[in-house]
Amino acid sequence: MQNNATIVVTGAAGFIGSCLVGFLNSKGYNNIIITDDFSRFDKIPNLEGKKIIKQIERESFFSWLAENNPDIDFIFHIGARTDTTEFDYTIHQHLNVDYSQKVWQYCTEKKIPLVYASSAATYGAGEFGYSDNHELPFKLQPLNPYGISKNEFDKWALQQGSAPPFWAGLKFFNVYGPNEYHKGRMASVIWHSFNQVKKDGRVKLFKSHRPDFKDGQQLRDFIYVKDLLKVCYWLMQNQPASGIYNLGTGKARAFEDLVKATFAGLDKPAQIDFIDMPEDIRDKYQYFTEADMHKLQDAGYDEPFYSLETGVMDYVRHYLATGLYY
């Protein structure tokens, strides 16, 4: 795709969306239209220095499109309600299902290629595995309203007779990296660990409440946001077969490893205390996730992913320790 292409990024003030805008700028793409809820002042630094041509409030986006009929070459729909502790499903329904359907329908009507953010939260407890084949979403039982909403949209997309000329739904696994400073409770364990080390010299991790997992050995597929950006960009440039794609590293790692890597980034010995998991998330907690990455690899993506240690080191030393943004 040419550098003068016009690209829309939804959720552009958030963690992944703002990093994506920065990455596109670094590749010479400056004709970027962004949309989000811009009332959050703690997100403003995420967009400082980014090159954009238009900023539109999330709830005004579709009326703006109707009035202006802009010439758009690609849409990255990253915006979503991502709080896994928000149990009011109507909020997830509005932002993660209804809004996403409108984006899809606009891309279909205007023949605009689309990449949208799905989530590994759709996989629930993992009882059906972690394959991104197109039969699985109809069996999955996500553990929280966020995961349910993401899976509902995946199922809806797969059932559409008409679609954008190219589309990819990316099941993001545990993404970490710069520009998540505003996320509070929902920020990565690395962000929390860094702040705990700075304050107390120690890190608190959840105990396991299952006999088959030792404390700190709960396993997740952690992916550095810089790898995620490269995949999004590759999909825009190459547009392989449309469909749902996993986006993790394909290698599950323990939370204890993650925290040890954070201490290593600070050149400190690991000091970890295990605490009880909050009751409100205990029965909705994923103990294991690991992306099956064969589909993306078979489509031609062959870039290596950051290891947990190198990704955490880069994040801690170049962003958290310096307070810099991507």
Residues 186, 172: one domain?
Answer: no
> Are 147 and 202 members of one domain?
no
Q: For residues 162 and 274, state if they share a domain.
A: no
From residue 90, alpha-carbon distances to 60, 97, 101, 128 in Å are 19, 10, 15, 27
* 87-110: average pLDDT: 94
Same domain, 262 and 298: no
Number of C-beta neighbours around residue 83 at 10 A: 17
Asked whether residue 272 falls in the same domain as residue 166, the answer is: no
Question: Residue 170 pairs with which residues in a beta bridge?
Answer: 117, 245
- 79 plus 228 within the same structural domain: yes
Report whether pLDDT(211) > 80: yes
The total number of structural domains in the chain stands at 2
> Looking at the domain assignment, is residue 24 inside a domain?
yes
Residue 243 confidence (pLDDT) above 90: yes
Query: Are 194 and 228 found together in one domain?
Result: no
Quote the pLDDT of residue 279. 87
Q: Residue 39 domain-assigned?
A: yes
**Average pLDDT in the chain:** 95
pLDDT at 326: 96
Q: How far apart are CA 123 and CA 2, in angstroms?
A: 36
Residues for the chain: how many in total? 326
Q: Does the residue 2 lie in any domain?
A: no
Query: Of 99, 106, 116, 146, which residue is the catalytic one?
Result: 146
* Confidence (pLDDT) at 16: 97
Instruction: Mark whether 128 and 259 lie in a shared domain.
Output: no
**Is 146 one of the annotated active-site residues of the chain?**
yes
Do 126 and 257 lie in one domain? The reply is no
Indicate which residue of 54, 183, 226, 230 is catalytic.
183
Q: Is residue 323 part of a domain?
A: no
Within a domain: 319: no
Q: Alpha-carbon distance 21 to 39, whole Å?
A: 19
Write the CATH number for 101: 3.40.50.720
CA dist., res. 223 & res. 228, Å (int): 7
pTM check: above 0.85? yes
* 159 shares a domain with 128: yes
Q: What percent of the chain has pLDDT over 90?
A: 90
Q: Is residue 73 part of a domain?
A: yes
Alpha helices in the chain (DSSP H): 15-26, 44-47, 61-68, 89-92, 99-110, 145-158, 189-200, 225-238, 255-265, 279-282, 294-298, 308-315
Distances (CA, A) of 32 to 205, 260, 269: 40, 38, 44
Please check whether residue 149 is in contact with residue 100, taking contact to mean a CB–CB distance below 8 angstroms: no
- How far, in Å, are 95, 123, 147, 292, 297 from residue 77 at the CA level? 11, 21, 17, 23, 22
Going by pLDDT thresholds of 50, 70 and 90, the confidence category of residue 275 is very high
Does 1 reside within a domain? no
Query: Tokens 């990565």, residue?
Result: 188
Q: Does the annotation mark 301 as catalytic? A: no
| Two structure tokens written together for 68 | 């202006």
Q: Check whether 177 has a pLDDT greater than 80.
A: yes
Q: What is the mean pLDDT of residues 35-45?
A: 93
Sign of the dihedral defined by the CA atoms of residues 96, 97, 99, 103, in that order: positive
Give the whole-angstrom CA distance, residue 238 versus residue 225: 20
Range of the domain at 263: 181-219+253-282
Residue 88: the pLDDT is 86
Could you tell me which of 123, 165, 167 has the C-alpha nearest to residue 141?
123
Pull the structure tokens for residue 296: 């993306």
Cβ contact 253:308 at 8 Å: yes
Are 147 and 125 found together in one domain?
A: yes
Q: Is residue 197 part of a domain?
A: yes
User: What is the band of 289 on the pLDDT scale with cuts at 50, 70, 90?
Assistant: very high
Q: Are residues 72 and 162 in the same domain?
A: yes
Q: Strand, helix or coil at 206?
A: strand
Please give the average per-residue pLDDT across 146-168, as a whole number.
Answer: 97
111 burial via Cβ count (<10 Å: 0-12, 13-18, 19+): exposed
| pLDDT at residue number 209 | 93
Q: In this predicted model, what pLDDT tens digit does every residue of 43-94 receive, in sequence order?
A: 999 999 999 999 999 999 999 999 999 999 999 999 988 777 777 888 899 9
